[in-house]
Amino acid sequence: MEGIEFIEYATARPQALGQVLETLGFRPIARHRSREVLLYRQGGINVIVNAHGGGAGQGGTLDDKPVIAAVALRVRDAAAAYGRALERGAWAVPIRVEVMELNIPAVHGPGGSRIYFVDRHREFSIYDVDFVPIPGVDPHPPALAGLHFFGIVQYIGNGRTEDWTDFYGELFGFQPLPLDAAFGILPKGRILRSPCPQASAFYLQLIEPEPGILEVDDTECFQRVALGTADVLATVAELRTRGVSFVESGRVHSEDRGALTQTRLGGVSLELVHHVRG
C-alpha cells in the first residue's frame, strides 16, 4: 500500500459541491468519458465528484447531501491486493464496466461505501483511460499551502471500535496507535496507521457516538477527510480569504494542532492537521 489515490463524493448537486471544493483550493481538471463524474485536484490530492449514481452506495441513490462514497488505495498490484482482501473475508463489489473503462476492483466499506485498489498511479494512471482532460486547464494545480492527504475520520456504532480495528487490521494491515497518540483538535476514538511507507502513510480515526458533543449517531460512514499542513493557522488564514468558515467554539477552535471547517451542504467538512511530510 502506498497511500490514498482518491476520495469519491456522491451527490445530486455536483455543481454546488464543486464550488465548495474550489474554495478549498481544488480545481476541476477532467471529465469522465461516459458518466456524470468530475475529477478535482490540488497537488497530490484527487477528489472525484460522482453525480452518476452507480457508485453512490446506499442502493445507488443520490442525495443532495454529499457523502464519501469511496476511498481508493494505491497498491503495487491491485489484483493481488483484491484477492488477499477477499481471502480474509472482504465482500466483493460487482463492477459494471462500460466501453473504454478500466475494471478497478473494490470491496465493501462502511455505510455502503467502496474501497478500491488502484495500481496505475504513476506515469500512466487510471485517469488517462477513464477521463478526458478539460481543455486549457492545468492538470497538476499546486496544492494550497502544501496540503496533502493525512487521513479519514469514520463514525462507527456503539461498541464497534474493536470490530473495525480488526476489519482494517486483517484486510489491509492497519495498526492501532498507542492510546496517548493524538492528532488535530478532535483526539477522540482510536487512530489506526496504514502500512504504507512513512512518506505516504495515512491514518483512520474511528469515533463512536458522543451525544451532545460531536453529533454522532449510529450511522457508520466515512465522515470527513483530514488534510495535513505544515502551518495550520497560516492555512486557515488563506482559506478564510477564499470564503471558508471554521468552527470556533469553546471546545473546538482553530489552533496550531488543527482546525475544522464548518459543514457545507449538510455533509462536507474538512479537518486540517499539523503534519510535516517526511
pLDDT value of position 101: 60
Say what the pLDDT of residue 215 is: 52
pLDDT score at 181 = 77
Write down the H helix ranges in the chain: 14-23, 78-87, 127-130, 161-172, 232-241
Q: What is the dihedral of CA 247, 249, 255, 261, to 10 degrees?
A: -10
- What 210-219 contacts at long range (C-beta under 8 Å, 24+ apart), as own/partner pairs, is 213/251, 214/186, 214/188, 216/155, 217/155, 218/157, 218/158, 219/111, 219/155
Q: What pLDDT was estimated at residue 275? A: 93
Reported as a single tens digit per residue, the pLDDT across 168-189 is: 999 999 999 987 777 877 768 8
CB atoms within 10 A of CB 206: 24
Neighbours of 267 (CB within 10 A): 18
CA distance 39 to 18: 10
Q: How confident is the model at residue 217 (pLDDT cuts 50, 70, 90)?
A: low
The domain defined by 4-133 folds into 2,3-Dihydroxybiphenyl 1,2-Dioxygenase; domain 1 (3.10.180)
Tell me how crowded residue 34 is: count the other CB atoms within 10 A of its CB: 12
Q: Kindly list the distances between the CA atom of residue 256 and the CA atoms of 32, 229, 242, 278, in Å, as whole numbers in the listed order.
A: 38, 10, 20, 19
Residue 13 CA to residue 21 CA, distance in Å, equals 13
Q: Where are the domains of the chain?
A: 4-133, 144-274
Q: How many C-alpha atoms does 55 have within 13 Å on its Cβ side?
A: 27
- Specify which residues 207 forms β-bridges with: 155
Q: How confident is the model at residue 212 (pLDDT cuts 50, 70, 90)?
A: low
CA 29 from centroid of its chain's CA atoms: 18
The arithmetic mean of pLDDT across residues 86-99, rounded, is 83
Answer yes or no: pTM beyond 0.75: yes
Q: Write down the number of H helices and E strands in the chain.
A: 5, 15
42-60 residue pLDDT tens: 999 999 999 986 544 444 5
144-274, CATH topology level: 2,3-Dihydroxybiphenyl 1,2-Dioxygenase; domain 1 (3.10.180)
**pLDDT at site 57:** 45
Closest by Cα among 17, 22, 220 to 113: 220
Find out whether 79 and 120 touch, Cβ atoms under 8 Å.
Answer: no
**Residue 176: which of 190, 187, 162 has the closest Cα?**
190
Residue with cell 482494517: 168
**pLDDT digit string, tens, across residues 130-140:** 899 999 999 99
Tell me what the pLDDT averaged over the chain comes to.
Answer: 90
Mean pLDDT for 5-33 is: 97
Q: How far apart are the first and last CA of the chain?
A: 17
